[in-house]
């Protein structure tokens, strides 16, 4: 049997869960509406119908199951979003699209009411209790075909006529590059762009020069330290400028080695020379290479 303390804790947990759920659904906003759909987005049946877009303005997933959509302020429970459909869960900063076609038998996202083009259209979103208003909007009459009415920023801002119809996506999409447009306005001939590009290239070359120069100095210093250690062990003295000799010295050494190469090195050629070897006996008739041993007298 459940005691009073356990029952009280269960009640608190239930209230907390309901409060979290209410807080989550309150972040959903009516985001965009298209009243007259003549040549625009089609539904899953290939039909062009008015649609209502919702936006999850929170960093967490929100489940709309049990919530209500209506076009009649006096009847907030006009259409209940069915439970058990996983597609009613809207991920963070994402959208859900409902079709106002008056045919709810077509699926979860098909409403049981329509939007009337020649009159004002009220749209309300209510929580699962059917009384708590989450969001509402009055779409004025005289909407232009295939032109939507929505928030100028997703989930916030003012309701305006949108330049671009964006069902199931952000109301504001960036398809231009502001920096490039600034260059086009302020540098039509491209002189500034050219100078900037050349400066970047030369700056890169300068950085490479400094890097390789630093690496070379580090290598020379390491060589001098190794030579100094070796000379110290051998009792010799290494000059202070060892490893920093001028190019003329190395050229003179290379020239001297080249001049001496005729006497100290073989002359390589493609001619095969066979020289006769003078020996006191012929290896072909020598008895030490025969298969039989010489007979021995006993």
pLDDT of residue 280: 62
In angstroms, the CA 98 to CA 121 distance is 15
pLDDT of residue 19: 44
Question: DSSP labels for the chain?
Answer: ---HHHHHHHHHHHHHHHHHHHHHHTTEEEEEEES--SSS---TTS----EEEEEE-SSS-EE-TT-EEES-TT-TTSEEPPSS-GGGEEPTT-EEEEE-BS-GGG-TTB-S-B--TTS-EEEEEE-TTSSSEEEEEEEPS-PPTT--EEEEETTEEEEEE-SS--TTS-SS---S-HHHHHHHHH-TT-HHHHHHHHHHHHHHHHHHHHHHHHHHHHHHHHHHHHHHHHHHHHT----TTTT---HHHHHHHHHHHHHHHHHHS----S----PPPP-SS-TTT-GGGSSSPPP---
Residue 288 lies in a domain: no
pLDDT of residue 221: 84
* Together in a domain, 170 and 203: no
Residue 163 lies in a domain: yes
Q: Would you give the end-to-end CA distance of the chain in angstroms? A: 126
pLDDT of residue 257: 77
Instruction: Give this prediction's pTM.
Output: 0.55
Residue 226 burial (CB < 10 Å; 0-12/13-18/19+)? Answer: exposed
Residue 76 lies in a domain: yes
- Both tokens of residue 12? 């608190």
* Together in a domain, 168 and 195: no
* Together in a domain, 32 and 151: yes
* Together in a domain, 141 and 215: no
* Together in a domain, 37 and 146: yes
* Together in a domain, 38 and 98: yes
Beta-carbon neighbour count of residue 76 at 10 Å?
Answer: 19
Residue 18 lies in a domain: no
* Together in a domain, 150 and 234: no
Residue 37 lies in a domain: yes
pLDDT of residue 20: 44
Residue 186 lies in a domain: no
Strand pairing report for 149-153 and 156-161? antiparallel
* Together in a domain, 205 and 152: no
Domain boundary among 175, 207, 239: 175
- The model's pLDDT over 49-97, given as tens digits with 9 standing for 90+, comes to 999 999 999 999 999 999 999 999 999 999 999 998 999 999 999 999 9
Domain that holds residue 28: 23-175
- Both tokens of residue 261? 């190469």
Question: Please, what sign has the CA dihedral across residues 133, 137, 141, 143?
Answer: negative
Ranges of the chain with pLDDT below 70? 1-23, 173-178, 183, 234-245, 261-298
Residue 182 lies in a domain: no
- The model's pLDDT over 229-263, given as tens digits with 9 standing for 90+, comes to 877 776 665 566 665 667 787 788 888 877 776 55
* Together in a domain, 155 and 210: no
Domain boundary among 175, 205, 235: 175
In angstroms, the CA 224 to CA 203 distance is 32
CATH value at residue 40: 2.60.40.1260
* Together in a domain, 205 and 245: yes
What total number of domains does the chain contain?
Answer: 2
pLDDT of residue 18: 44
Which residues 6+ apart lie within 8 Å of 173 measured at CB?
164, 166
pLDDT of residue 88: 95
Domain boundary among 175, 204, 233: 175
* Together in a domain, 106 and 220: no
Beta-carbon neighbour count of residue 100 at 10 Å?
Answer: 25
In angstroms, the CA 148 to CA 161 distance is 6
* Together in a domain, 150 and 195: no
pLDDT of residue 244: 62
pLDDT of residue 237: 59
Residue 265 lies in a domain: no
- Both tokens of residue 97? 């699209």
């Amino acid at each position: 049997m459940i005691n009073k303390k356990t029952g009280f804790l269960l009640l608190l947990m239930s209230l907390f869960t309901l409060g979290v759920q209410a807080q989550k659904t309150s972040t959903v906003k009516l985001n965009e509406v298209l009243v007259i759909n003549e040549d625009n987005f089609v539904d899953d049946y290939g039909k062009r119908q008015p649609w209502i877009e919702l936006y999850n303005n929170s960093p967490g997933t929100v489940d709309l199951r049990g919530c209500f959509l209506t076009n009649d302020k006096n009847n907030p429970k006009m259409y209940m979003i069915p439970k058990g459909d996983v597609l009613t869960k809207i991920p963070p900063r994402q959208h859900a699209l409902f079709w106002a076609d008056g045919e709810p038998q077509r699926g979860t996202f098909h409403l049981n009411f329509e939007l009337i083009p020649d009159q004002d259209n009220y749209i309300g979103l209510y929580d699962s209790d059917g009384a708590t208003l989450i969001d509402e909007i009055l779409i004025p009459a005289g909407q232009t075909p295939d032109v939507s009415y929505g928030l100028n920023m997703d989930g916030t801002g003012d309701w305006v006529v949108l330049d671009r119809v964006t069902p199931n996506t952000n109301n504001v999409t960036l398809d231009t590059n502001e920096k490039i447009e600034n260059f086009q306005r302020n540098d039509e001939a491209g002189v500034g762009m050219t100078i900037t590009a050349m400066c970047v290239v030369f700056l890169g070359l300068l950085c490479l020069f400094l890097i390789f120069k630093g690496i070379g100095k580090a290598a020379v210093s390491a060589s001098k330290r190794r030579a100094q250690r070796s000379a110290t062990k051998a009792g010799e003295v290494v000059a202070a400028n060892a490893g920093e000799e001028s190019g003329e010295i190395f050229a003179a050494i290379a020239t001297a080695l080249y001049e001496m190469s005729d006497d100290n090195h073989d002359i390589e050629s493609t001619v095969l020379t066979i020289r006769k070897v003078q020996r006191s006996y012929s290896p072909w008739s020598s008895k030490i290479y025969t298969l039989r041993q010489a007979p021995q007298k006993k």
